Amino acid sequence: AQKVTQAQTEISVVEKEDVTLDCVYETRDTTYYLFWYKQPPSGELVFLIRRNSFDEQNEISGRYSWNFQKSTSSFNFTITASQVVDSAVYFCALSENYGGSQGNLIFGKGTKLSVKP
Amino acid sequence: DTGVSQDPRHKITKRGQNVTFRCDPISEHNRLYWYRQTLGQGPEFLTYFQNEAQLEKSRLLSDRFSAERPKGSFSTLEIQRTEQGDSAMYLCASSLTGAQGYTFGSGTRLTVV
């Protein structure tokens, strides 16, 4: 069965600190997709990144970076120099491959990040 | 295009009543998904449409739940004889086949009293 585990329920940091959100997944598929979403207090899920299982290159986008390691089934997310606006719940998700594209998402329970000024 | 729209944003209903939610996806998106999110949990998949065809339903979707997507455009999710356990945020998402990610709406928060 597919599963996503986000072991950190809540993290609190002070502004400008770096923070890493952990994500471990389980799947028997050889082709799958991994996602990170941000859910601010307004409730809308904001897409951050998608990775397919064949692309293990790490990615950096501004202050955000992602570390995908198939060997440990992990897809961790790091925010550098955190800001108060980064405060939100962050979800890692997994989807299987449906004919070459993503299927429905299986989410972790989320990590609530609080960035204090 | 203003993204995925959901209506209403909030709904309070008495136990036993029926409720219907609407989702308007991004117009060119052929896939539409419904998810349910309870407090402190990640969203859970309910059902999925490709155009007007409902291709997959989760076991979470009991007989009291029904979803439609006539003409492959907007979708409705109806819950009959609501129960307190149905209280949750109901999220709609849409995507294009092969596209990068899903676009989620802001959700409908249902409270059953």
Q: List chain B residues with CB under 8 Å of A52.
A: none
| Assigned token pair, A83 | 């800001």
- What percentage of chain B reaches a pLDDT higher than 90? 75
Tokens 């007989």 found at = B63
At A102, the pLDDT band (50, 70, 90 cuts) reads: low
- Across the interface, do A47 and B35 touch by the CB < 8 Å criterion? no
Q: List chain A residues with CB under 8 Å of B41.
A: 109-110
Instruction: List pLDDT tens digits, range A1-38.
Output: 789 999 999 999 999 999 999 999 999 888 888 999 99
Q: How far apart are the first and last CA of chain A?
A: 41
At position B10, the amino acid (one-letter code) is H
CB A15 within 8 A of CB A117: yes
DSSP string, A31-98: SEEEEEEEE-TT---EEEEEEETT----EEETTEEEEEEGGGTEEEEEESS--GGG-EEEEEEEEEEE
- Across the interface, do A106 and B45 touch by the CB < 8 Å criterion? yes
Alpha-carbon distance of A38 to A106, in angstroms, equals: 15
Confidence at residue B99, expressed as pLDDT on a 0 to 100 scale: 61
